[in-house]
Amino acid sequence: MAYSAFEKMRSLNKQRFGKDTGPFQPVLSCEAGEGYDLKSAVLRFMHESCEDLLFDKQIEEEEERTGVYRGTSVAPNQIPYNMQMDINRLCLERELERFMDSGATQDAYSVYYCFMEIFFGSYGKSKKIIELLSEYESNGCSLLMKHRDHFSHSVYVFVLGLAIYETNENFRRAFNSFYHFSTDAEDPKESRKAAHFFLEYWGKTALFHDVGYPFELTFEQVISFFEAGDDDRGTHTPFIVYNNIKTMTELGPQAQELFRKMYGRSFRTIDEVMVHDLTLKLGKTYGFTEDYLLKTLRKKPVSPESFCYYMDHAYFSTLCLFHELTVAMGIDTGEENPVHPGTFKPAHIDALSAILLHYDLFTYSIAGREPGMKSTLSMDIHPMAWLLMLCDELQCWDRTAYGRNSRSELHPMAVEFDFSKNRLIARYQYDEAEQEKIDAYLWACVEWKKNGRQGDAPKLKVYSDMANTENSFVKDIEKIVDTDGIPITVVCDIAPVNRGNKHIYLSDSSFLHMHDFAVVLNARHAHEGDVDEVEKSTMEKEFSVLSLEYKLANINQVKSFSRYLNAIHCFYTDRQVDFDMVDEFTPEEIECIAPMEHERWVREHQSMGWSCNDFYEHVPVPGDIPEKQYRKAIREQSRCHAMAMDGELKTEDILLHYRSFLPESEQNKDFQPFNCMLRLIRRFDGLRIYRFAR
């Protein structure tokens, strides 16, 4: 019973209406029940291991006592609260699946969005810090010598960790023991609690571990301007430092008090908190003191010369996540109604310290600071840091290259994982079009060996580390983390490139527009007649009260819009271009777009477990409830819709349904508001739609 609130509502509906109206159990995709590949493991974790995620027994009892539901669907108080939690989990499951199928940056965005809405209470409060990473990389990193994507990378790291937790008994046992959950796999209730806990805190660790990269990238841009090599960094070039860092590290009165209660001593900065906690965890094993680590940490932003002239993005990622947590919880922000009220827990500190360790603090300042010290990190000492370091190293495939040198280097484009038997086999795939580079490297290796291995061995970026006889790629991982609990095997393959799932079209805009675009799409129905009068704040407020499912419906329509425009020879951009701007879609263009939007709507509803039924339009309506409101609530509680479709669907089936069976009033919903939307979009930050010259 993976989605138990669905099943409970279904049973209640049988009693109320005398027939099985739904909602029906969502289907576990790709037969993930038995698979040990990445996608199967992640979906099985979300679908089965995370049953009853964020359920609230007290609210459920209150709903049963009062007869008033507390959950939001298309409107507040339409469905049981726990049913909303089930739908939220299904949203995250589906967005993870979509991302694993495509690897597209826009699908990574949806995973971030889901996670933030579920575990931070609101995406809107944190959207700038999340979106800035992608924007900074795509717009500024072509100036750098070396740089690859960290936005989609972070979501891949997230899914890798979920798969390892789901499949590896050794890690699961170490994690559950560290956080005092039962290690008895036969206790399903305790196993679910542990899985819920892991999902939340691992998500905060993985998804935020690189959000501080803009601080490092700015530093690197100055270095790259002078095209400095490793030996010239800083010594013969200018470099920047970050002063006044106390604005990010100082603790307010409320934070000081909560950490005093947590540790029994006073702290003035989050640096001091992190150092104290890490010394408790690692100090004895690695032989360092709190004073040493605090001095090291304080040098990070102001003395890059102490770290070979490198700026540590992990330090700034830690500070960024700390800030986002305080905002979400309303700690020292002065807000009376925080979006996700709560308090810091030790696991929040573990997420922060895992991020702090993952770049070079652990490798160079802790494990490698003296010869003969213990060099690897065990999963038993700090499981989240161990997992982050492992997944960060493994995730080297399907990363957009931005840097000048990075664009010409050979990196794996895909990977196939086998997580069975508590080990990890990774089969990295390289583009067969790069065979010439690979052959040249292999021939150079033959010549190098023939000449007595004189000089440095030939290199071909990651490929040579994976393909050489020393298996350097795995050896380097084994120098950082103890892999006894998860033996790693890496294989290199050649395969044809396939970019079809990324859905790359000419339309392009800043990620900062995606949320705004979704707000407009939502507003276009309600404000079709008065778009020139509606305030932006009104549209945002209307969007904010939607459930996660309906917010995502708008966001996913935004992601589809580039495909729609491509079909009618148009595109959108936030840049000034010399094409004709579209003031109004023609009837022919709208007639082309509308069926495509209907297909997206049908497939989205089917994916989210909706079924085809119109019984809610005919049930008797209690006299004290407005008819429209009642019928809509029954529709949401049953998750059935007259316009939905069931079964295996081909595109031609959906188009036939649209043209032959969809009433004109429903067809109008797919095309009437598009010109209204054009007028709304112009009021948002310069986004425009253009038409190719014909």
What pLDDT was estimated at residue 406? 47
Token output for 471 = 């298996």
529 and 498 in a single domain? The answer is: no
What confidence category does residue 91 fall into, taking pLDDT thresholds of 50, 70 and 90? Answer: very high
DSSP 689: E
* Domain-located, residue 27: yes
Q: Which helix (H) or strand (E) holds 671?
A: helix 664-671
Q: Which of 101-110, 233-242, 534-543, 680-689 has the lowest mean pLDDT?
A: 680-689
* Domain-located, residue 109: no
516 and 591 in a single domain? The answer is: yes
Task: Say whether pLDDT at 424 is over 90.
Answer: yes
Higher-pLDDT residue of 142, 3: 3
DSSP 279: I
Whether the CB-CB separation of 21 and 13 falls below 8 Å is answered with: yes
What pLDDT was estimated at residue 403? 47
DSSP 583: S
pTM: 0.93
37 and 87 in a single domain? The answer is: yes
- Segment 630-649, tens digit of pLDDT: 999 999 999 999 999 999 99
* Domain-located, residue 430: yes
Please compute the mean of the pLDDT values over residues 457-473 and round it to a whole number. Answer: 83
453 and 496 in a single domain? The answer is: yes
What pLDDT was estimated at residue 591? 87
Task: Say whether pLDDT at 534 is over 80.
Answer: no
- Segment 1-41, tens digit of pLDDT: 689 999 999 999 999 999 999 999 998 876 656 799 999 99
For Cα atoms 190, 196, 202, give the angle at the middle one, nearest 5 degrees.
125
What confidence category does residue 685 fall into, taking pLDDT thresholds of 50, 70 and 90? Answer: low
Please compute the mean of the pLDDT values over residues 352-376 and round it to a whole number. Answer: 86
Domain boundary among 485, 502, 519: 502
* Domain-located, residue 205: yes
Q: Which helix (H) or strand (E) holds 691?
A: strand 688-691
Higher-pLDDT residue of 338, 591: 591
* Domain-located, residue 247: yes
Residue 494 DSSP SS3: strand
Q: How many domains does the chain have?
A: 4
- Segment 365-390, tens digit of pLDDT: 998 766 666 689 999 999 999 999 99
Task: Say whether pLDDT at 651 is over 50.
Answer: yes
241 and 368 in a single domain? The answer is: yes
What confidence category does residue 483 fall into, taking pLDDT thresholds of 50, 70 and 90? Answer: very high
Q: Extract the runs of DSSP E, i.e. beta strands, from 252-324.
A: none
Domain that residue 135 falls in: 124-400
* Domain-located, residue 576: yes
467 and 555 in a single domain? The answer is: no
* Domain-located, residue 538: yes
Token output for 370 = 């003296």
51 and 3 in a single domain? The answer is: yes
Query: In 358-434, which residue ranges form alpha helices assigned H by DSSP?
Result: 383-394
Q: What's the whole-number average pLDDT of the chain?
A: 87
161 and 233 in a single domain? The answer is: yes
What pLDDT was estimated at residue 43? 96
- C-alpha 135/C-alpha 510 separation (Å) is 7
Q: Is 592 exposed, middle or buried (0-12, 13-18, 19+ CB in 10 A)?
A: middle
- C-alpha 13/C-alpha 326 separation (Å) is 42
> Among residues of the chain, what percentage have pLDDT more than 90?
52
DSSP 382: -
What pLDDT was estimated at residue 69? 96
Contacts of 167 (CB under 8 A, 6+ apart): 36, 41, 419, 420, 422
Helix and strand counts by DSSP (H, E) for the chain? 29, 8
* Domain-located, residue 633: yes
